[in-house]
Amino acid sequence: MSRKTKLLVTGANGTIGTRFCHAMQEHYELRMADQQTHALAGIQGERVPLDITDLSACRRACDGVDAVLHLAGIPLPDAPFEPLVAVNIVGTYHMLQAAYESGVSRFVFASSAQVNEGYPSDVQTEERQPVRPGNLYGVSKCSGEAMGAYFAYQHNLSNVAVRIANYLPELTLLNCTTHRDRAAYLSPRDANQLLRLCIDTPSIQFLIVNGVSNNRYKRLDLTTARERLNYQPKDDAFAILDL
């Protein structure tokens, strides 16, 4: 039997992290890291405290792992810039530097569809388009993607940035009243599939992929994710809402 990939998940206590870790606890040897880890009780794996603004703590968290799924960060589109710099920009640099120093083989960065929120709502965005953030949170995610490219091409740290769109549990989806929100929907099970593919797919130096479900109309184009990762999303916000 082959050894499981030892995976560090930062932000493991968050909305995406808890669901991913619960679904993947048999697939990976998990090291789940966050400032608080109470929501991870009962999930198989190691739980460690982590403040990504502390480079030494990031180095300890990365020690001995094969791959990193970096979900930690401030997730608020209206957040002021100063904390975004400290957490989303400097904190992401800390994680990339620590992963590189530890010999990690794959770094997956949770970017955001907000990097292109400045495009009109009737434009389906592709990864090759120039970024057009609509807020400073999106700017912080653009920075994370750029740093990932730097570490990939200058330091040979394999890096995948996934632009997560409107991640919602199904019950929360019922509150989506706009076409834009439905078109950007990403279900937990599709997110879990996509993140696993980002971690496991071999022979990638640097890649950016969009993260959205199989909605009837998609705010983000999925051609790259389908072709490079064999991503096969199952859920459709419009079908779930019977529209």
Q: Is the pLDDT of residue 207 over 70?
A: yes
Pick the closest to residue 21 from 138, 196, 211 (CA basis). Answer: 196
Nearest-angstrom CA–CA distance, 182 and 58: 36
Q: What is the pTM of this model?
A: 0.96
**What is the CATH number that goes with domain 6-240?**
3.40.50.720
Q: What angle is formed at CA 243 by the lines to CA 18 and CA 121, rounded to 5 degrees?
A: 75
pLDDT for the residue 171 = 60
205 pLDDT tier (thresholds 50, 70, 90):
very high
Assigned token pair, 206: 């640097």
Domain locations along the chain: 6-240
pLDDT digits (tens, 9 = 90+) for 59-73: 999 999 999 999 999
Most confident segment among 38-52, 136-150, 227-241 = 136-150
pLDDT for the residue 179 = 83
Q: Is the pLDDT of residue 170 over 80?
A: no
Nearest-angstrom CA–CA distance, 89 and 97: 12
Q: Is the pLDDT of residue 173 over 80?
A: no
User: Among positive and negative, which fits the CA dihedral 230, 236, 239, 243?
Assistant: negative
pLDDT for the residue 39 = 86
pLDDT digits (tens, 9 = 90+) for 28-38: 999 999 999 88
